[in-house]
Amino acid sequence: MAVRKFKPTTPGQRHKIIGTFEEITASVPEKSLVCGKNSTGGRNHVGKMTMRYIGGGHKQKYRFIDFKREKDGVPAVVKTIEYDPNRSARIALLFYADGEKRYIIAPNGLTVGAKVMSGADAAPEVGNALPLQNIPVGTIIHNIELRPGQGALLVRSAGNFAQLTSREGRYCVIKLPSGETRQILSACKATVGSVGNSDHGLESSGKAGRSRWLGRRPHNRGVVMNPHDHPMGGGEGRQSGGHPRSRKGLYAKGLKTRAPKKQSNKYIIERCNK
């Protein structure tokens, strides 16, 4: 994966940096694994706007991704690497030996023709999904479950990876991309390797219109509003706006929002630095 920078022939090209899409091998998704995707424009069932700054955007189809990887012991071949408008990572189409087709998140280094497998007997190689108890300590992993059989919830976006650092009884200690270190049950599955499209963080849209294609409308800052519109609004001339708050008056930066008695707090060994 690489990025390409454009010559400033137009204002929109001046700061535009996008991916090369060189790893993508198919332009049309597998028909049996897609469905229509409705957009709300931020409106609820009575047409009232409940989420601001949402609307428009290009029409998209949702791709069904296999986050559970429960077809244990059945080998699969990577048929294509495809673009997915619903996520930052690329996806890979798998053809299983029994004839079934499924999409997975494409890790770095996975190529067309590669063979992958899931289950306790799978080798700890890129693209294979296996329980944490069967993965060697120090391995780079992604698509991590929090509960056995629930499906992957952690480390799914482009370029991310976690590391299995040690084992403590029934639990494995995982270092997450945020810097947090936590315990996860050894029976939970994870996929070996890091998520592909690692240069996604280097991309720059170059113009506001690209945000509109993604369904994002212009966002107004609270400090430029009137007092009855936002707690940070009002004032003569340019005012700082006071402590950053949301439109409902809740602190927006620096306030810890995690429940102090959350049941899973005991599994967190070291909190992230953010």
Amino acid 186 reads S
Partnered with residue 102 across adjacent β-strands are 94
Sort strands 171-175 and 162-168 into parallel, antiparallel or unpaired.
Answer: antiparallel
Question: Range of 124's domain?
Answer: 3-201+262-270
Residue 236 counted as domain residue: no
The DSSP 8-state label assigned to residue 31 in this structure reads G
- Residue 223 belongs to some domain of the structure: no
DSSP line for 49-79: B-STTB------EEEPB--S---BT--EEEE
Q: Which residues of the chain have pLDDT under 70?
A: 1, 273-274
Answer yes or no: is 19 within a domain: yes
CATH of the domain at 75: 2.40.50.140
Q: Which residues contact 274 (CB under 8 A, 6 or more apart)?
A: 178, 179
Question: CB under 8 Å to 68, separation ≥6 — which residues?
Answer: 149, 150, 151, 152, 189
Residues 6+ positions from 227 with CB-CB distance below 8 Å: 233, 234
pLDDT number for residue 1: 67
Handedness of CA 201, 202, 208, 210 (dihedral sign): negative
Residue 209 · residue 190 · CB < 8 Å: no
SS3 of 110-140: the string is CCCCCEECECCCCCCCCCCEEEHHHCCCCCE
Per the CB < 8 A criterion, the answer to whether 119 and 192 are in contact is: no
pLDDT at 102: 97
Cα–Cα–Cα angle for 75, 84, 131, rounded to 5 degrees: 40
Q: Does the residue 246 lie in any domain? A: no
pLDDT at 241: 80
Number of domains forming the structure of the chain: 1
In a domain, 26, yes or no: yes
| Pairwise CA distance, residues 131 & 75, whole Å | 17
Look at residue 70 and tell me if it is in a domain: yes
Would residue 209 count as lying in a domain?
Answer: no
Q: For residue 273, what pLDDT is reported?
A: 66
pTM, full prediction:
0.90
In-domain check, residue 128: yes
